[in-house]
A and B are shown apart, each in its own frame.
Chain A
Amino acid sequence: MEFETVIGLEIHAQMKTRSKIFCGCSTEFGAPPNTHTCPVCLGMPGVLPVLNRKVVEFAIKLALATESTINLENRFARKNYFYPDLPKGYQISQYELPIAEHGRIGIEVDGEQKYIGITRIHMEEDAGKLVHDDVEPVSYVDLNRTGTPLLEIVSEPDIRSPAEAAAYLRKLHAIVRYLDICDGNMQEGSFRCDANISLRPRGQEEFGIRTELKNMNSFRNVQLALEYEERRQRDILLDGGQVVQQTMLWNPDKGRTEPMRGKEEAHDYRYFPDPDLVPVEVDEAWIEAVRRDLPELPDIRRQRFMTELGLPEYDATILTASRELADFFEAALAGFANAKKLSNFIGTELLREYGPERITECPVAPAQLARLLAMADEGTISGKIAKTVFVEMLASGTDPDVIVKEKGLVQMSDEGELVALVREIIEANPAQAQQYRDGKTKVIGFFVGQLMKKTRGQANPQLANRLFQQELS
């Protein structure tokens, strides 16, 4: 039997606001436990939440970037459950009226364009963390993270393969980074992904029984976990069995999903509108103001790179994978206008060292890269030397001019200087010279090689070719 895979993703993106969603505490990561807390985020008696408007602005940004419908009046609700990392005994979230609904994100898989629907985007507060002692059977509560703003983005079950899931996740990741609303760090948990996956016989309308997947803290793990779970469910179904609806944890060390330990209680969260917060009012003027400030989004930028700069789709897709890389590319383009040459160099030499997400760590400034390529283009250095110089630049951050000058790497293009060396080489290799004259013109490569050796690669190869032809005839 042939099966169709159905996947939906639930993503929690931590907002890059300076302060928490309902109090003035800092959201900075890594502070000593319980130092970024106040009576409000500690859930003391009698205190009240006050909404950080920046969070709403960020949510509007994401809603616009995903073509979602913004609910001009939306509201916060309480999600009630007991856990030590949840000081109030409820999480302030959104339920019946989220800030945005009915959006979509375009993805490309195997050259095919496809849209994945977004069911809803809502604002909520993060919970704290439990820290378990390594030795004693004791757990500590750290409430620094409590009240950090989150956007939860729930997709429609439109995703049909683990590869599509990965593409969707990467695209959403790129969008939040382009919007500069989330730092996207999956290791630190500021961009978290849960998935649900089910299989159904191809052609069947009704969904199969699904499992929920958690603990996948990288793009790769999301794809691997879904691939594993897809195989596991298919095997069960092919054996005539039934998938058990449950939550599975991805175990990256063993490369498999495992049922979550402990009894899974069916939670009744008893959602109801939070009476401490008034409905959030968003007006058209606010939306327009946010829209005006919206940066160019990855899809639009990619399209522009293709139409305005004449780059192939492949190049444009790579260059727009992150906002930082695209910014780097465009900054370099200001000093070196040949987009394709620049793209080639970045694609081969730069991205090998610094991926799209890490480009800001690269010690070579865009202007320095542009200067290097300009030097190669002008013939000051050879293309081969340019790569060597670039390695040096990556190591030290030094300007290419300085490196070329200090190491004497300037290309030799002086005809008089070179012609003497050419004659010397011909004299020293009479046999090869004779071969050339007998019509074996390919031997010219040998002569150019000799010249390069003598000049440590600095001779201008075109000029060398011409001089050998001239002197050998």
Chain B
Amino acid sequence: MEIYSLTLTQAREKLARGEITSLQLTEAVLFRINQVEDRIRAYLHLDREGALARAEEADRLREQGRAGDLLGIPLSVKDVLCTRTMPTTCGSRMLENFTPPYDATVIERLNQAGAVILGKVAMDEFAMGSTSENCAFQVPVNPWKEGYVTGGSSGGSAAAVAADECFASLGSDTGGSIRQPASLCGIVGMKPTYGRVSRYGLVAFASSLDQVGPMTRDVADCALMMNVIAGYDHRDSTSINREVPDYTRALVDGMEGIRIGIPAEYFGDGLDPEVERSVRRGIDMLREAGAEIVEVSLPHTRYCVAVYYLIAPAEASSNLARYDGVRYGFRDQDARTLIDMYRASRSRGFGDEVKRRILIGTYALSAGYYDAYYKKASQVRTLITDDFRQAFARCDLLVSPVCPTPAWKIGEKSDDPLAMYLSDILTISANLAGIPAISVPCGFSSDGLPIGMQMQAAHFNEEVLLRAAHNLEQRAGVVGTKPELA
């Protein structure tokens, strides 16, 4: 096996034992990127020189006896995270030439841990989308099948991890943007509890829903990445000051004493039979591992999509108001008046989906509509959170599919925003409730596309998710199966 195909944990062990150097590892990954990037199209920005310099520095540090958790490991990050040394475009023309003068807190944490950040990967513009087709620069392609979507919005991250173009990636999840592409690309993706990971330097889409999380080849890698990125940050008022456990210790064999809830609402109409079969088989494996299975109900599930598509656009309409062409970013140079400059810069700088959501959000907050839309949605959001509270009184985690179907063809749904929004139905409730959730590979469709299982737990109970995901991974035998690329 090529060293670029190792898991993060394996690569880390080889580095620690001195079997390989970070420079060799980084060169291998860069070679791999050369080999497959034309097919995958994950990287919006690749910093070869910087990466090699960082790798050499990591090797020097290791010689001096220093060892960060990610020392010398090549990673990629979604282009929504601010980086001082690389452009941060959010997949938008609006920020095409924008390099922020600061690092996101999670980037600082990766750097402190010694990671080698290779570059920035593709995403739907401002994280708005479910396929990464809304990226203004390039559309990443599913490594498992040519011409198929990666999912989104963290599609570049998922594709890069699945295609061995990095050992892990950071994504962001506002309504499923980590879990859904992880599922469609056959990797592990976790959305932590809201407040577990700092949002400072994560360019905001919907502030009350956004959360940064790891996208990795396996569950152990996910736990390791969580150890690095989780924790309180005084620069984020919504981050929570609470002790961070060693997540790698959560990977206990066996599911004895764990009760798994199966929400009937998550196995409803529109669920692909292959996906259902695969997930149910996964549930059986968890039962065999010792878990108790119970039926639970989340009665407000049917309102999730409506609630989400009011709250997220409302917040987005305000969060994206700063892109006005005045201080940074795209400005229409031909505009003659201030209002024209605003109008032209925003009309030309933003893509259709972003504009659609700004319009929806502006409408939902407008005088006369606020009570009927935004306020009502906020109230229903409380009911959805209550559903989970009641469910978690009866079980430790909830198991369901991540996405109703496996990956689809690029372009297939891009003219039908409503169909696209409905594909988020199983993932958005975790964001509305602020609970942690993970996507773990559990099988393949008949035409070889990956299928993921979603697990959700109560606030700050990431450990039970990692334990269950680890046990599924052990039994499903999916990890290690790689897409056939060049």
Which are the 6 A-B pairs with shortest beta-carbon distances? A89-B321, A275-B208, A270-B365, A275-B207, A46-B203, A45-B203
| Interface residues as binary, B212-256 with A (CB distance below 8 Å gives 1, 0 otherwise) | 000000000000000000000011111000000000000000000
Q: Which residues of B contact A141 (CB under 8 A)?
A: 326-327
Given the interface pairs A87-B327, A268-B367, A276-B207, the reply to whether A46 lies near B237 with Cβ below 8 Å is no
Bits for A262-277, please: 1 = Cβ < 8 Å to B, else 0. 0000001011100111
Say yes or no: is B201 at the interface (Cβ < 8 Å to chain A): yes
CA distance A394 to B429 in the complex (A): 74
- Chain A minimum-CB-distance residue to B239: A48
B322 contacts which of A43, A48, A272, A275 (Cβ < 8 Å)? A43
Does A270 contact B318, Cβ atoms closer than 8 Å? yes
- Please tell me if the beta carbons of B366 and A270 are within 8 angstroms of each other in the complex: yes
Beyond A44-B328, A82-B321, A88-B321, 4 additional contacts (C-beta under 8 Å) are A44-B100, A270-B366, A271-B365, A275-B315
Q: Would you call B82 and A45 a contact (CB within 8 A)? A: yes
Considering the complex, which residues of chain A in the window 246-304 have a beta carbon less than 8 Å from any beta carbon of chain B?
Answer: 268, 270-272, 275-278
Residue of A with least CB distance to B234? A50
Do A50 and B237 touch across chains, with their CB atoms under 8 A apart? yes
Which of chain B's residues has its CB closest to A141's CB? B326
Query: How near does chain B come to A127, taking the closest CB pair, in angstroms?
Result: 13
Residues of B within 8 A of A50 (CB): 234-237
- Chain A residues numbered 27-66 whose CB sits less than 8 Å from any CB in chain B: 39, 42-51
**B101 contacts which chain A residues (CB < 8 A)?**
39, 44
A39-B100, A46-B201, A50-B235 given as contacts; is B366 within 8 A of A268 (CB)?
A: yes
**Chain A min CB distance to B451 (Å):** 33
B321 touches A46 (CB 8 A): no
A80 lies within 8 A of chain B by Cβ: yes
Select A78's contact among B203, B318, B323, B367, beta carbons within 8 Å: B318
Interface flag for A90 (CB, 8 Å): yes
Shortest A457–chain B CB gap in Å is: 70
Contact call A46/B318, Cβ cutoff below 8 A:
no
Contacting A276 at CB < 8 Å: which of B104, B234, B237? B237
Please indicate the chain A residues that have their CB under 8 angstroms from the CB of B365 in the complex. 80, 270-272
**A175 vs chain B, min Cβ distance (A):** 30
Interface residues in A69-91 (C-beta closer than 8 Å to B): 78, 80, 82, 84, 87-90
Contact code string B325-337 (vs A, CB < 8 Å = 1, else 0): 0111000000000
Which residues of A pack against B, CB within 8 Å? 39, 42-51, 78, 80, 82, 84, 87-90, 141, 268, 270-272, 275-278
23 A-B residue pairs with Cβ-Cβ distance under 8 Å, sorted by A, are: A42-B327, A44-B101, A44-B328, A45-B98, A46-B88, A46-B104, A46-B201, A46-B202, A46-B203, A48-B236, A50-B234, A50-B235, A51-B237, A80-B318, A268-B367, A270-B370, A271-B365, A271-B370, A272-B318, A275-B238, A275-B315, A276-B204, A277-B238
What residues make up the interface of B, taking CB atoms closer than 8 Å to A? 81-82, 88, 90, 95, 98, 100-102, 104, 199-204, 206-208, 234-238, 314-315, 317-318, 320-324, 326-328, 338, 342, 362, 365-367, 370, 374
B207, A272: Cβ atoms closer than 8 Å: no
Chain A residues whose C-beta falls within 8 Å of the C-beta of B317 in the assembled complex: 80, 270
* A45, A84, A276: residue with the most chain B Cβ atoms closer than 10 Å: A45
Which chain A positions have C-beta within 8 A of B100? 39, 44-46
A87 to B48 CA separation, bound complex (whole angstroms) = 35
Chain B hits for A49, CB < 8 A: 237
Cβ-neighbour of A84 out of B104, B206, B326 (below 8 A): B326
Identity of the chain B residue whose Cβ is nearest the Cβ of A40 in the assembled complex? B235
In the assembled complex, the CB of A142 is this many whole angstroms from the nearest CB of chain B, namely: 12
State the CA gap A278–B362 with chains docked (Å): 22
Chain A residue nearest to B103 in the complex (CB):
A46
- Give every chain A residue within 8 A of B327 (Cβ-Cβ): 42-43, 87, 141
Establish whether residues B201 and A47, one from each chain, have CB atoms under 8 Å apart when the complex forms.
Answer: yes
Report if A82-B324 is in contact (Cβ < 8 Å); known contacts: A47-B200, A268-B367.
yes
How far, in angstroms, from A44 to B322 measured CA to CA in the complex?
A: 8
* Chain B residues, Cβ within 8 Å of A51: 237
Bound Cα distance from A469 to B427, whole angstroms: 110
CA distance A357 to B327 in the complex (A): 40
Q: Once the chains are docked, how many angstroms separate the CA of A141 from the CA of B328?
A: 13
- Complexed CA–CA distance, A84 and B82 (Å): 24
Residues of A within 8 A of B370 (CB): 270-272
Q: A45 CB to closest chain B CB, in angstroms?
A: 4
Q: Verify B237–A277 contact, CB threshold 8 A.
A: yes
Q: How far, in whole Å, are A319 and B119 apart by their CA atoms in the complex?
A: 68
Whole-angstrom distance between the alpha carbons of A50 and B234 in the complex?
8
Q: B362 → chain A, closest Cβ, in Å?
A: 7
Chain A min CB distance to B309 (Å)? 16
Q: How far is the CB of B238 from chain A (nearest CB, A)?
A: 6
**Set of chain A residues within 8 Å of B199, measured between Cβ atoms:** 46, 48
- Distance in angstroms from A248 CB to nearest chain B CB is 24
Q: How far is the CA of A45 from the CA of B82 in the complex (A)?
A: 8
Q: A89 to B314: give the CA distance in the assembly, Å.
A: 14
A88 to B102, CA, bound (A): 17
How far is A50 from B200 in the complex, measured between Cα atoms in Å?
Answer: 11
Q: Which residues of A contact B323 (CB under 8 A)?
A: 45
B315 touches A270 (CB 8 A): no
> With the chains together, A280 CA to B322 CA distance in Å?
25
Q: B320 — which chain A residues lie within 8 A by C-beta?
A: 89
For residue A88, which residues in chain B have a CB less than 8 angstroms away from its CB?
A: 321-322
In the complex, residue of chain A having the shortest beta-carbon distance to the beta carbon of B102: A39
Residue pair B203, A90 in contact (C-beta under 8 Å):
no
Complex contact A45–B90 (CB within 8 A) = yes
- Please measure, in the bound complex, the distance between the C-alpha atom of A57 and the C-alpha atom of B236, giving whole angstroms: 21
Q: Roughly how many angstroms separate A275 CA and B209 CA in the complex, as a whole number? A: 9
Cα distance A177–B199 in the bound complex, in angstroms: 39
| A45-B203, A80-B365 known; A90+B82 contact, CB < 8 A | no
Most buried by B among A43, A46, A272, A278: A46
The answer to whether A84 and B338 have CB atoms under 8 Å apart is yes
Give the contacting residue for B318; candidates A42, A90, A278; CB below 8 A.
Answer: A90
Chain A proximity of B123: nearest CB distance (Å): 14
Smallest Cβ distance from B414 to chain A, in angstroms?
26
Assembly CA distance A148 to B332 (angstroms): 31
Separation of A29 and B55 alpha carbons in the complex (Å): 47
Q: Which of A42, A43, A271 has the most CB of B within 10 A?
A: A43
Within 8 Å CB of B342, what residues of A?
82
Distance (whole angstroms) from the CB of B357 to the closest CB of chain A: 15
Q: Are B235 and A46 in contact (CB under 8 A)?
A: no
A270–B328 alpha-carbon span in the complex (Å): 25
Please measure, in the bound complex, the distance between the C-alpha atom of A42 and the C-alpha atom of B234, giving whole angstroms. 19
B314 contact set on A, CB distance < 8 A? 272
Closest A residue to B314 by beta carbon equals: A272
In angstroms, how far is the closest chain B Cβ from the Cβ of A227? 34
B321: nearest chain-A partner, CB-CB: A89
Complex contacts, B322 vs chain A, CB 8 Å: 43-45, 87-89
A200 CB to nearest B CB, Å: 27
Docked CA distance A268–B327 (Å): 24
Task: Tell me, rounded to whole Å, the shortest Cβ–Cβ distance linking A112 to chain B.
Answer: 41
Q: Assess the A276–B238 pair: CB atoms within 8 A.
A: yes
Q: Which residues of A contact B328 (CB under 8 A)?
A: 44
Chain A's nearest CB lies how many Å from the CB of B302? 24
CA distance A284 to B82 in the complex (A): 40
How far apart are the CA atoms of A271 and B371 in the complex, in Å?
11
Q: Is B367 a contact partner of A278 (Cβ separation < 8 A)?
A: no
> What residues on B are CB-neighbors of A39 within 8 Å?
100-102
